Chains A and B, each alone.
Chain A
């Protein structure tokens, strides 16, 4: 009677070919999934860029934003305001939902002042050239949560509203 150590262990390793094929198929499906995931990222479905770019609001308050953002990463915005002629200031009001659970990283141009509004909103006041037809303001937020977020902006009687999805 041969001892267990003397017998070959190789026959025990053999599995039906179908079992290997299932594993190979699983791997190849995984490669395709990886490729699709990267394609989605490249197109801008998993963060800023490409298909993620969107606009919202009337011509007097046109906001460019990304539909998809990432938690703890910069999320840029641009707004083009067309205020009524005359006047030396522009008021841009952020509703509370815009700034909730997010850190304002920077804002350009530099606002003259910021006034806390009701229910957690903030109104930024910018100096402007009375002759300029358009004023552009850029800012970047760093969302501190993942999930859906909405934002409402108002300036000189015009309003814009949009929604974003923040990936974890």
Chain B
């Protein structure tokens, strides 16, 4: 029981911590972010296993994480506010070719990233963008302006 509670505590803390850190994608990860994740996983591993290195303990921990994740996805589907609370909402950062500076600043997105996403969609200037949306997973979606 203690093991399950400990795992739930770490799941909740990690969820809160990553929510606070904002939207980031793995494709944008820096070397330092990567090292940070490794260090983080090592410290979490020690807190999770404690002195119990049995196989069954590893199964209990894995099962708890997966079960929490499934239950959380079901709960988010049922309660929209939970979905918004956990994963945030998409944010429009460019509208009709005009960058929304405050939103970009608060989300720590710079113009280079928007233009990079535009280039990946075959666009070469801001004028050609109808909407640029910072998605919940941290990627930027581009809706091209119509002719």
Contacts and interface: CB of A to CB of B under 8 A. Distances in A.
Interface of A: 31, 34-35, 37-38, 41-44, 46-47, 49-50, 70-74, 167-168
A37 B63 contact: yes
Interface residues of B, number: 18
30 contacts: A31-B67, A31-B70, A34-B63, A34-B66, A34-B70, A35-B67, A37-B59, A37-B60, A38-B4, A38-B64, A41-B3, A41-B4, A41-B60, A41-B63, A47-B3, A47-B54, A47-B56, A49-B1, A49-B2, A50-B1, A70-B54, A71-B54, A71-B56, A72-B52, A72-B54, A73-B52, A73-B53, A167-B56, A168-B55, A168-B56
Given A37-B63, A41-B3, A71 B55 contact: yes
A31 to B, nearest CB: 5
B51 A73 contact: yes
> Shortest 6 CB-CB distances between A and B: which pairs?
A70-B54, A73-B52, A167-B56, A168-B55, A34-B67, A41-B60
Contacts of B54: 47, 70-73, 167-168
A38 B67 contact: yes
Contacts of A50: 1
Interface in B107-137: none
B1 to A, nearest CB: 5
A25 to B, nearest CB: 15
Contacts of B63: 34, 37-38, 41
A43 to B, nearest CB: 8
A50 B70 CA distance: 26
